[in-house]
Structure 1
Amino acid sequence: MTSTGDTRKETTVSTAAVGTADDSTFRALRTQLHEAATAFADGPGALEGLLLGLVDDVDRAVREPLEIFPVCHHSPASALAMARRLREKQPKVVYLELCEDMAPLLTELRNCRLPVAVQAFASKIDGFPADWAPLSVVAPITEASAEYQAIAYALDTPGVELVLVDRSSDHVYQWDERPTRAADPDAPETAEEEEAALHGDAVGVEIGDLRPRFAELEEHLLRHGKVRHWSEWWHQYVELPLSDGDYNTYRQVMLLIGSLFRRLAPGDTHRLKVDEDRERHMWTRMREHLTATGADPDDCLYVCGAFHAASRVEEFGVHGSDTFEISPRTATVWQHGLIPSSHTAIEAQFGLAGGSVSIAASLFAKNVRRTKVKPYRLAGQAGKTSTAKKRAAAPVPAGPADKLTGFLRRPPVLDRLDEEELLGWSVDIVRAARRNGYLASTADAIAVFETSILLAGMRDRAKPTPYDFQDAAVTCIEKDAVPGRRDVRRLVEIMMGGDRIGQVGYDALPPLARDVHDRLTPLNLPLQQRGVKRALLDIAGRPELGACSDVLWMLRHLLPHGAARPIMGERTLGERPIQESWDLALGTHQRALIELGYEGVSVEQVLEQRLRKAAYGAKATAADVLKAVEDATLYLNSRRLADELGAHALHVLAAERSVDGAPEVLRRVRRLLAYYRTSEPVLPGWIESFAKEGYAHYCTLLPMAFTDDDATVRQVAATLGFLFGMESLALSLGCDRTQLELAVAQSHPSDPARQALLWAARTHLGTLSRTELRERCDELLGNPLVLTAYPRYLSGFLHALEPVPGLTDFVVEAVSNAFGRLPDPVLLPWLPTLISTLRADGSELAPLLIREAGRVFPARLPALDGWIPPWREQPLPPAARPAASGPRGVALLAAHPATCDAAAALLGCDGGWTATDPGPRGAALLTRYPDTATAATALLTRI
Structure 2
Amino acid sequence: MTAVESGPFAALRGQLVDAAAQFGGADALAGILGGMVEDVDRALREELEIFPVCHHSPASALAMVRRLREKRPAVIYLELCEDFTPLLEELRNCRLPVALQAFACETDGFPLEWSPLSVVAPLTQASAEYQAIAYALDTEGVELVLVDRSTDHVFQWSPQEQQQTEVGDPESVQEEAGLHGDAVGVEMGDLRPRFRELEEHLLHHGRVRHWSEWWDQYVEQPLSTADYATYRQVMVMIGSLFRHLRRDHAESVDEERERYMWTRMREHLAATGTDPARCLYVCGAFHAASRVEQFGLTSQAPYEISPRTKTTWQYGMIPSSHSSIETQFGLAPGSVSIAAATWAKALKRGGEKPFTLRGSEDETKGKAGAKAAKPRKTTPTPRAVPAVDQAAAPVAVDRLSTYIGTPPRPDTLDEEELLGWCVDIVALARRNGYLASTADAIAVYDTSILLAGMRGRKRPTPYDFQDAAITCIEKDVVPGRRNVRRLCEILLGGDRIGRVGYASLPPLARDVLDRLSPLGLDLERRTLQRALLDLGTRPELRPCSDVLWILQRLLPADAARPIMGSRELGERPIQESWDLAIGKHQRALVELGYEGISVEQVLEQRLRAAVYAPDADPAIALRAVEEALLFLGGRRLADDLGARAVELLAQERTADRAPEVLRRIRKLLTHFRTEGQRLPGWCEDFATKGYAHYCTLLPAAFADEHADVRQVGAVLGFLFSMEGLALSLGCDHAQLEIAIRQSHPEAPGKVALLWAARFQLGELTLPELSRKVAELVENPLVVPALPQYLSGLIQALDLAPALAPLVVETLSRAFGTLPDSVLLPWLPRLIATLKDQAGEYAPVLVREAGRTFPGTLAQLEHWVAPWDPGAQEAAAGEPSLASAAVGADIGTGPAAELLRRHPAAAEAIAVLLAT
Task: Tell me the TM-score normalised to structure 1 length.
Answer: 0.91
Q: 1:896 to 1:489 in 2, by over 3 A?
A: closer
Structure 2 portions without partners, runs of 5+: 167-173, 368-380
Aligned counterpart in structure 2 of residue 236 of structure 1, from 217, 221, 231: 217
CA deviation after TM superposition for structure 1 residue 482, in Å: 1.5
CA distance in 1, matches of 2:19, 2:874: 125
SS, match of residue 77 in structure 2: strand
Q: Contact 1:22–1:63 (CA<8 Å) still a contact in 2? A: no
CA deviation after TM superposition for structure 1 residue 336, in Å: 0.4
1:328 and 2:310 matched: no
TM-superposition CA deviations, 1:688-731 (whole Å, max 9, x none): 11101111110110111011011111000000110111111111
1:384 and 2:363 matched: yes
TM-superposition CA deviations, 1:858-881 (whole Å, max 9, x none): 223343232222333768869995
CA deviation after TM superposition for structure 1 residue 531, in Å: 1.9
CA deviation after TM superposition for structure 1 residue 20, in Å: 12
In the alignment, which residue of structure 2 is the partner of 1:32? Answer: 15
In the alignment, which residue of structure 2 is the partner of 1:365? Answer: 344
In the alignment, which residue of structure 2 is the partner of 1:488? Answer: 484
In the alignment, which residue of structure 1 is the partner of 2:199? Answer: 218
**AA aligned opposite 1:31:** G
CA distance in 2, matches of 1:795, 1:536: 46
- Which residues in structure 2 correspond to 1:618-637 (within 5 Å)? 618-637=614-633
Q: Contact 1:198–1:345 (CA<8 Å) still a contact in 2? A: yes
CA distance in 2, matches of 1:46, 1:703: 75
**Which segment drifts farther, 277-286 or 23-32?**
23-32
TM-superposition CA deviations, 1:413-457 (whole Å, max 9, x none): 110000110011111111111111111111000000000000111
TM-superposition CA deviations, 1:902-922 (whole Å, max 9, x none): 76754647xxxxxxxxxxxxx
CA deviation after TM superposition for structure 1 residue 99, in Å: 0.3
CA distance in 2, matches of 1:941, 1:723: 28
1:116 and 2:95 matched: no
SS, match of residue 474 in structure 1: helix
1:673 and 2:652 matched: no
- Which residues in structure 2 correspond to 1:658-669 (within 5 Å)? 658-669=654-665
Q: Contact 2:175–2:328 (CA<8 Å) still a contact in 1? A: no
In the alignment, which residue of structure 2 is the partner of 1:343? Answer: 322
Q: Contact 2:356–2:362 (CA<8 Å) still a contact in 1? A: no
Aligned counterpart in structure 2 of residue 573 of structure 1, from 569, 574, 579: 569
Q: Contact 2:653–2:697 (CA<8 Å) still a contact in 1? A: yes
1:509 and 2:490 matched: no
Q: Contact 2:175–2:183 (CA<8 Å) still a contact in 1? A: no
CA deviation after TM superposition for structure 1 residue 644, in Å: 1.0
CA deviation after TM superposition for structure 1 residue 390, in Å: 2.2
CA deviation after TM superposition for structure 1 residue 197, in Å: 1.4
CA deviation after TM superposition for structure 1 residue 194, in Å: 12
CA distance in 2, matches of 1:194, 1:20: 44
**AA aligned opposite 1:28:** A
TM-superposition CA deviations, 1:351-392 (whole Å, max 9, x none): 111100000010000000001111100011116269645247
1:198 and 2:179 matched: yes
- Which residues in structure 2 correspond to 1:835-874 (within 5 Å)? 835-872=831-868
Q: 1:778 to 1:395 in 2, by over 3 A?
A: same
TM-superposition CA deviations, 1:171-228 (whole Å, max 9, x none): 0000012556579xxxxxxxxx999511011111001011111111111111111110
Q: 1:140 to 1:691 in 2, by over 3 A?
A: same
Q: Contact 1:247–1:398 (CA<8 Å) still a contact in 2? A: no
TM-superposition CA deviations, 1:615-663 (whole Å, max 9, x none): 1111110111111111111110130011111111111111111111111
Q: Contact 1:455–1:472 (CA<8 Å) still a contact in 2? A: yes
Aligned counterpart in structure 2 of residue 281 of structure 1, from 228, 246, 260: 260
**Which segment drifts farther, 664-673 or 651-660?**
651-660
In the alignment, which residue of structure 1 is the partner of 2:638? Answer: 642
Q: 1:790 to 1:881 in 2, by over 3 A?
A: closer
- Which residues in structure 2 correspond to 1:770-781 (within 5 Å)? 770-781=766-777
SS, match of residue 440 in structure 1: coil
1:739 and 2:735 matched: yes
CA distance in 1, matches of 2:760, 2:908: 23
Q: 1:891 to 1:173 in 2, by over 3 A?
A: closer
CA deviation after TM superposition for structure 1 residue 24, in Å: 3.0
SS, match of residue 839 in structure 2: coil
In the alignment, which residue of structure 1 is the partner of 2:393? Answer: 398
Q: Contact 1:702–1:747 (CA<8 Å) still a contact in 2? A: yes
Q: Contact 2:138–2:384 (CA<8 Å) still a contact in 1? A: no
In the alignment, which residue of structure 2 is the partner of 1:793? Answer: 789
CA deviation after TM superposition for structure 1 residue 264, in Å: 1.4
Q: 1:20 to 1:203 in 2, by over 3 A?
A: closer
- Which residues in structure 2 correspond to 1:602-617 (within 5 Å)? 602-617=598-613
Q: 1:716 to 1:640 in 2, by over 3 A?
A: same
SS, match of residue 491 in structure 1: helix
Q: 1:941 to 1:610 in 2, by over 3 A?
A: closer
Q: Contact 1:340–1:504 (CA<8 Å) still a contact in 2? A: yes
**AA aligned opposite 1:112:** C
CA deviation after TM superposition for structure 1 residue 594, in Å: 0.3
In the alignment, which residue of structure 2 is the partner of 1:262? Answer: 243
CA deviation after TM superposition for structure 1 residue 890, in Å: 6.3
**AA aligned opposite 1:232:** E
CA distance in 2, matches of 1:436, 1:875: 73
Q: 1:620 to 1:95 in 2, by over 3 A?
A: same
CA distance in 2, matches of 1:941, 1:452: 88
- Which residues in structure 2 correspond to 1:374-773 (within 5 Å)? 374-382=353-361, 384=363, 388=383, 390-391=385-386, 393=388, 396-399=391-394, 400-773=396-769
**AA aligned opposite 2:347:** V
**Which segment drifts farther, 872-881 or 783-792?**
872-881
**Which segment drifts farther, 430-439 or 343-352?**
430-439
Q: 1:755 to 1:20 in 2, by over 3 A?
A: closer
1:135 and 2:100 matched: no
Aligned counterpart in structure 1 of residue 273 of structure 2, from 270, 277, 294: 294
For this pair of structures, how many residues does the alignment match?
889
Q: 1:876 to 1:389 in 2, by over 3 A?
A: closer
CA distance in 1, matches of 2:363, 2:494: 20
SS, match of residue 487 in structure 2: helix
SS, match of residue 384 in structure 1: helix
CA deviation after TM superposition for structure 1 residue 823, in Å: 1.9
1:815 and 2:811 matched: yes
CA deviation after TM superposition for structure 1 residue 50, in Å: 2.2
Q: 1:46 to 1:657 in 2, by over 3 A?
A: closer
Q: 1:933 to 1:104 in 2, by over 3 A?
A: closer
Q: Contact 2:337–2:492 (CA<8 Å) still a contact in 1? A: yes
CA distance in 2, matches of 1:875, 1:38: 110
CA deviation after TM superposition for structure 1 residue 41, in Å: 3.4
TM-superposition CA deviations, 1:228-263 (whole Å, max 9, x none): 010000000000000110111101100110011111
Task: Tell me the TM-score normalised to structure 2 length.
Answer: 0.93
**AA aligned opposite 1:788:** P
Q: Contact 2:526–2:584 (CA<8 Å) still a contact in 1? A: yes
**AA aligned opposite 1:378:** L
